[in-house]
Amino acid sequence: MQFFWIIVTLVVFSLQTLAGTNPALAAVDTLSASTPVVQDVETLLNQAFDASNAGKFAEAETYWTEIIKQYPDNAAMWSNRGNVRVSQNKIEDALSDYNKAIELAPNAPDPYLNRGVAYERLKRWASAIADYNHVLELSGEDPLAYNNRGNAEAGLGDWKAAIIDYETAAELDPNYAFARANYALALYQDGQTEKAIRTMKNLVRKYPNFADMRAALSACLWEKGKRGEAESNWVAAVGLDRRYRDLEWVTQVRRWPPEVVRALDNFLNLQ
């Protein structure tokens, strides 16, 4: 799920992901397709994913728990249950699941990436960065790891490092719009306002329904005195996502940088 300045970049860890890394972890794949327990697990997997996609995370957790009972040595199942626990803000429980997944599959990058997100929820920035560094050691040029490391560096206030990581993520995956958006926001925080606004405009041109960038552009253009253009973008932004009216959500959940939040506050209060 991404879902989340932080786009929560949680990675769904599949059975196929593990098949080439540890035969014991691919146990479900090696059973006969006609075996009743396999059919039951396939049903549970479909139910777990359907519940997650519908935002029914508590329900999804019960399915993953049942699957884990049948396949306690499958790292993918532990990591996926950790994901739905993060989505319920059950962070310590999620960390326990990720730790188990890492114990079972120490060379698989996904549990480290997901654990990093959980550490970010606890504002354990250094621990998150360590996990993202390990992902990059294991899997090389991973745009998700670079973006998430940028998030953690932003949490520490190291905006220059965050800018580098966001830009790297966007270059590795040109379609990774949120990495480029995070790059633009970090540029604004770093005082590179013209470059930030130019990047935001390019994103809005490419993705007209990108509420995050339209809202940020509204705030930044307002600061520049371009009030008509700011208001035009704002109408589109709140039409797409009304949460940008809520400064607490923007600050605590979306985690915009302080200078962009201040600009939005000024815009909302017509200062």
118 pLDDT above the threshold of 70:
yes
> What confidence tier does 150 reach under pLDDT thresholds 50, 70, 90?
very high
Question: Chain-wide mean pLDDT for the chain?
Answer: 88
**pLDDT value for 41:** 87
**pLDDT value for 24:** 28
CB 91 within 8 A of CB 117: no
Selected residue with higher pLDDT from 11 and 68: 68
Phi, psi of 8 (to 5 degrees): -70, 110
Mean pLDDT of 88-110: 97
**pLDDT value for 155:** 97
> What confidence tier does 11 reach under pLDDT thresholds 50, 70, 90?
low
Global confidence as pTM = 0.85
Domains of the chain: 1-140 (1.25.40.10), 176-271 (1.25.40.10)
Interval 177-186: pLDDT, tens: 999 999 999 9
26 pLDDT above the threshold of 50:
no
Mean pLDDT of 110-139: 97
> What confidence tier does 30 reach under pLDDT thresholds 50, 70, 90?
very low
User: Which of 9-13, 224-228, 256-260 is predicted with the least confidence, judged by mean pLDDT?
Assistant: 9-13
219 pLDDT above the threshold of 80:
yes
236 pLDDT above the threshold of 60:
yes
